[in-house]
Structure 1
Amino acid sequence: MSHSQKIIDNDIDAINAAYHVADFALEERNLRDQQRLLPTDVIQHLVKKGLTAIRIPKKYGGAEVSHQTLTQVIRILAKADANIGQIPQNQFGILNAILLIGNEKQKTFVFNEILAGKFLANGGPEKNTKDSQTIATTLTIADGQYVLNGDKFYSTGSAFADWLAIKAQHPDGYVVLVLVDRKTKGIEVVNDWDAFGQRTTSSGTVKLKDVVIDPFLIFDERKLADTTHFRGAYSQIIQVAIDVGIAEAAFQDLLTHVKKARPIADANVDEASLELYLIQEVGKLDVLLQASILLLDEAANVLDRLEQKKEIIDTQVAEASIAVAEAKIYAHRAALTISEKLIELSGSRSSLAKYNLDQHWRNARVHTLHDPVRWKYYALGNYYLNHQFPKQHAWI
């Protein structure tokens, strides 16, 4: 995937680049979705435009764009193709973790790789463990070499990767994050992701068999517990932006296709767009969408304010997580509701395969399975009622 990459050095350039990639992504989105064709050319374009490096700190050569800009970039991409919005999310999350726990030499190396056009994806959570945080993959030491063994799933973007980020159990009993060149002997990336939505994210299996890794690229995740950070809110706000982008795409298609629908006879109007009850429904959906955008923007502003502080405290981290959780709840509702109402209000012909309008609901339904909102409601209630802070992890 490595290509000569444009270096983005400001927020405006990042947003402009996102629109260019979005236009390209939209061209064959329906074909890719219906035939499960991986968007390799789109991801190459995204990397060439420099979008994967926009959150790298300025001291390492990146643009270090604001969270406001990052979420706008993700929204733009996800509106064009929800898969393209999701594919780089793990790279942003992994780079953020490395910023928190890596030493200077490690950070300089990894960030330079990304700035040079390398793409980083994850070997994701594991399919058959008791929960998504349990790691069965092992890092062992044999004959003086560090060796990875295990099977990963939900490995979003793995087919496009130059580097894979793998979580594994260290021999001393703690979890480490390991970066490994995807072409290393013993790595097999299997494109077996067959979910009904987010079909082209390459979120399938990564098999690791006696994979020898460089000890320089082992990161001790215990360090995350020793620092005060808003990694969880940062990770989650990208998920929110993807859902808002899906909602925006569905709403845009709704406005187009409602005008092609036939009105119900009882309405006594010439066009469906003149039906009183339908007009009211569209108004409700607009309010839902605008509320989700505003909550996302406010959450991004909270993170931007927090990032400007020299030191942050637990209270501020909790405020960030709560702001993002509130945004996630509305984005979840907007993506699912608007994509479902798109079909209802546009009528029977909108269900025809040639329009592929069901992709928005399918994408929304699959993507919103990340970090279920029922636990967001719990976090909010426990915070406001009992003054309990959410846990510091990537799911809140």
Structure 2
Amino acid sequence: MSETLPGPAPAPTTDTVPPRTIASIGEVLDVARSLLPSLSEGAAERDRDRVLPHGPVREISRSGLLGITVPRELGGLEAPASVVAEVLRLFGTVDLSLAQILQPHFSFLNALRLRGGRPARERVYGDVLAGSLVSNAQAERSGRTAHTHATRIEPDGDHHIVDGTKYYATGSLFADWLAVVAPAPTPEGPRPHIAFVRADDPRVRIEDDWAGMGQRTTASGTVHLSGVRVAPEFVLEQYRTFEGPTTYGAHAQLLHTAIDVGAARGALEEAAEFVRTKSRPWFESGVDHATEDPLLVHRFGELEVLVRSAEALLETAAARVDVADTTPVDEDPRAAETATAEASIAVAAAKVVGGRAAVDVSSALFEVAGTRATADAAGLHRHWRDTRTHTVHDPVRWKVQHIGEYSLNRRRPPRHGQI
């Protein structure tokens, strides 16, 4: 067991104020919408100065939204994927980075739902209901591909030992729990597992070292794990998730898509507000106000069509994931296979269009708003930097490939968690 690495403990989201109790699924979106004004306040300044959103994350924790997917049997609302996606879409309209902090939280709570035993579910879900945030510790820089892991989860007596380093760990600087993805031994050889690790464990060190051009405030630190001891009930056999039809990948990708679609809407609304209040008409238009320029109006129409298309595809995809989640595998395996394949393809299509909408609209913002919009002080470039950064998390060209295979050859998409 290696020596404990020095370093400050991460700031937890939980505090002395208990989270609000959200009484029903119908109330979830009302709560999310009520937060938008305060979450949007200062978003540009946070990005400009790279000020991590301690206050907004604490506000989200206190709102009760972090616990909406906890199963009813454990005191939660068991909100479906479509509701979670709409929450992230709403947050994405005001601050993509803030919405992105929540994506791994809900994705790994879904992994816990699929593979976790009773002790792990009771402990982690209980903490989440008390306001805790779950973050990822997944990506690595070494290895042949981005999904090759040097980190290891090894049995050691009555515990497991986790050793390694994870990068781009979204939200980790705010985390109470870290979901560490790494291989662990099985009779068939090393296979992917998830270890739920307390972020305040003394053998965990999290560096605040994210230096991307966009998503500056996602609190995406580097996580060092040095001989972390984990009880076996907190180590999930993640590889078994993909032995049958599952919505794990579709669920995770749906949330990424929701963030993109929300960001596209947010960029378009900010562009419109800028044109209404600050832009001047082109001299050839013969009008007194930029909002009356017929070519500018036409361009806004094109962008609105693009954003509405992405929103419609997101809604369809979310509904397909909900259907797949409620199709029992044991009762009708064939129907479950079909439902999960349809969900993955629908999400993939929404991800392709949503990502394009986010990047295109955040770029067209400057085209329609004019030179004044490029001023650094305006902070409008954060929309493009954020969307361009977020949309390279995984290549949409492979999503198009799987959509084509399904359309032409009726080949179902692979089970690997990325579609």
TM-score (norm 1): 0.96
Range that drifts further, 220-229 or 297-306: 220-229
Partner of 1:178: 195
Alpha-carbon distance in structure 1 between the residues aligned to 2:76 and 2:156: 38
Partner of 1:308: 326
Partner of 1:162: 176
**1:97 and 2:111 correspond:** yes
**1:57 and 2:74 correspond:** no
Partner of 1:291: 309
Residue pairs, 1:1-396, within 5 angstroms: 1-3=13-15, 4-142=18-156, 145-172=159-186, 173-259=190-276, 260-311=278-329, 312-396=335-419
Alpha-carbon distance in structure 2 between the residues aligned to 1:229 and 1:7: 30
1:297 CA drift (Å): 0.7
Alpha-carbon distance in structure 2 between the residues aligned to 1:138 and 1:68: 34
Alpha-carbon distance in structure 1 between the residues aligned to 2:153 and 2:23: 37
Alpha-carbon distance in structure 2 between the residues aligned to 1:228 and 1:290: 31
Question: Contact between 2:328 and 2:336, CA under 8 Å: does it hold in 1?
Answer: no
1:65 CA drift (Å): 1.9
Question: Could you give the per-residue CA deviations for residues 2-58 of structure 1, whole angstroms, max 9, x where no partner exists?
Answer: 232223232222112212332221111111100111111111111111111111221
SS of the equivalent of 2:344 reads helix
Alpha-carbon distance in structure 2 between the residues aligned to 1:124 and 1:44: 24
Question: Contact between 1:146 and 1:212, CA under 8 Å: does it hold in 2?
Answer: yes
SS of the equivalent of 1:197 reads coil
Question: Contact between 2:152 and 2:183, CA under 8 Å: does it hold in 1?
Answer: yes
1:214 CA drift (Å): 2.2
Range that drifts further, 162-171 or 304-313: 304-313
Alpha-carbon distance in structure 2 between the residues aligned to 1:76 and 1:91: 16
Question: Contact between 2:68 and 2:76, CA under 8 Å: does it hold in 1?
Answer: yes
Q: What is the CA RMSD across the aligned residues, in angstroms? A: 1.5
Question: Contact between 1:167 and 1:177, CA under 8 Å: does it hold in 2?
Answer: yes
Name the CA shift for 1:124/1:21 in 2 (closer, same or farther; >3 Å).
Answer: farther
Alpha-carbon distance in structure 2 between the residues aligned to 1:66 and 1:384: 27
Letter paired with 2:243: D
Letter paired with 2:297: I
1:188 CA drift (Å): 0.8
Letter paired with 2:145: D
Question: Contact between 2:296 and 2:368, CA under 8 Å: does it hold in 1?
Answer: yes
Alpha-carbon distance in structure 1 between the residues aligned to 2:360 and 2:239: 40
Question: Contact between 1:230 and 1:392, CA under 8 Å: does it hold in 2?
Answer: no
Letter paired with 2:213: F
Question: Could you give the per-residue CA deviations for residues 337-378 of structure 1, whole angstroms, max 9, x where no partner exists?
Answer: 111111111110111122111111111100111222111111
TM-score (norm 2): 0.91
SS of the equivalent of 1:291 reads helix
1:105 CA drift (Å): 2.7
Alpha-carbon distance in structure 1 between the residues aligned to 2:385 and 2:77: 34
1:143 CA drift (Å): 6.4
**Regions of 4+ moved over 3 Å:** 141-145
Aligned length in residues: 396
Name the CA shift for 1:228/1:197 in 2 (closer, same or farther; >3 Å).
Answer: same
Alpha-carbon distance in structure 1 between the residues aligned to 2:149 and 2:299: 45
Alpha-carbon distance in structure 2 between the residues aligned to 1:334 and 1:140: 43
Range that drifts further, 283-292 or 258-267: 258-267
Alpha-carbon distance in structure 2 between the residues aligned to 1:150 and 1:23: 40
SS of the equivalent of 2:168 reads coil
Alpha-carbon distance in structure 1 between the residues aligned to 2:183 and 2:398: 27
SS of the equivalent of 2:218 reads coil
SS of the equivalent of 1:80 reads coil
Question: Contact between 2:158 and 2:231, CA under 8 Å: does it hold in 1?
Answer: no
Alpha-carbon distance in structure 2 between the residues aligned to 1:141 and 1:304: 36
Percent identical residues: 33
Alpha-carbon distance in structure 1 between the residues aligned to 2:324 and 2:112: 19
Question: Could you give the per-residue CA deviations for residues 202-241 of structure 1, whole angstroms, max 9, x where no partner exists?
Answer: 1131011122222221111232133321111111110111
Question: Contact between 2:74 and 2:122, CA under 8 Å: does it hold in 1?
Answer: yes
Gap regions ≥5 residues in structure 2: 1-12, 330-334
Alpha-carbon distance in structure 2 between the residues aligned to 1:66 and 1:99: 12
SS of the equivalent of 1:371 reads coil
Question: Contact between 1:165 and 1:178, CA under 8 Å: does it hold in 2?
Answer: yes
Question: Could you give the per-residue CA deviations for residues 52-96 of structure 1, whole angstroms, max 9, x where no partner exists?
Answer: 111122122111223332221111111111111110110111111
Alpha-carbon distance in structure 1 between the residues aligned to 2:416 and 2:37: 35
Question: Contact between 2:341 and 2:413, CA under 8 Å: does it hold in 1?
Answer: yes
1:167 CA drift (Å): 1.4
